[in-house]
Chains A and B, each alone.
Chain A
Amino acid sequence: GAGVSQSPSNKVTEKGKDVELRCDPISGHTALYWYRQSLGQGLEFLIYFQGNSAPDKSGLPSDRFSAERTGGSVSTLTIQRTQQEDSAVYLCASSLAYGLGTGYNSPLHFGNGTRLTVT
């Protein structure tokens, strides 16, 4: 498919367990974003990758959250020792962000998200 793919689409886990969420961006998109969407809370920015590096990790809510991107493509968001407040939809997006004057107006292409439920 040509779109952003996220897996799994749904994940139910017990409190205290670790989870990994995967994102396959659109081929050729250098920028990749992770957002969290909680009920009635809008979109919360988590982390952004340009290539394999993450210039901005300021949105990660705690040190239990980490993310990596390899080969300028697939990204994994890991949540360790999950808590009930981590329950949300985790959205991944990619865009053609490259160079000054061209990347700022590139729209984001979103996946359908991973719905995480921590019991």
Chain B
Amino acid sequence: AQSVTQLGSHVSVSEGALVLLRCNYSSSVPPYLFWYVQYPNQGLQLLLKYTTGATLVKGINGFEAEFKKSETSFHLTKPSAHMSDAAEYFCAVSVAGGSYIPTFGRGTSLIVHP
């Protein structure tokens, strides 16, 4: 079975600083990896996903993530944080051959200070 670990339940950055949200996965077969964002009082929406091919994936709102098989990681980054980036971020994994049910991490709350 697959699993996801998000390091840090809260990450605090200053506006304009680099954003780095960490995600490590465990899977015995090649994974499909996703990052979702949840703004207050809303559902989750897809930021980006990795399926196959290029390991550096670009998403919406200037976010990107890099799939590193050797490190079993899929960290989310953004060069310069905006106040509007403050939200909850979830990493998720699914695998071919398993169920269609993706496994989600516990989430990381991004706090952006002026």
Residues of A within 8 A of B (CB): 4, 31, 33, 35, 40-43, 45, 48, 50, 55-56, 91, 93, 95, 97, 100-101, 103-105, 107-113
Contact = CB atoms under 8 A, between A and B. Distances in A.
Contacts of B90: 42-43
Contacts of A103: 100
A48 B43 contact: no
A16 to B, nearest CB: 28
B43 A104 contact: no
Interface of B: 9, 32, 34, 36, 41-46, 49, 51, 90, 94-102, 104-107
Given A42-B106, A105-B94, A107-B49, A56 B99 contact: yes
Given A43-B90, A105-B49, A56 B101 contact: yes
A105 B101 contact: no
Question: Interface majority SS on B: helix, strand, loop or mixed?
Answer: loop
A4 B49 contact: no
Nearest to A113: B43
B96 A100 contact: yes
A22 to B, nearest CB: 15
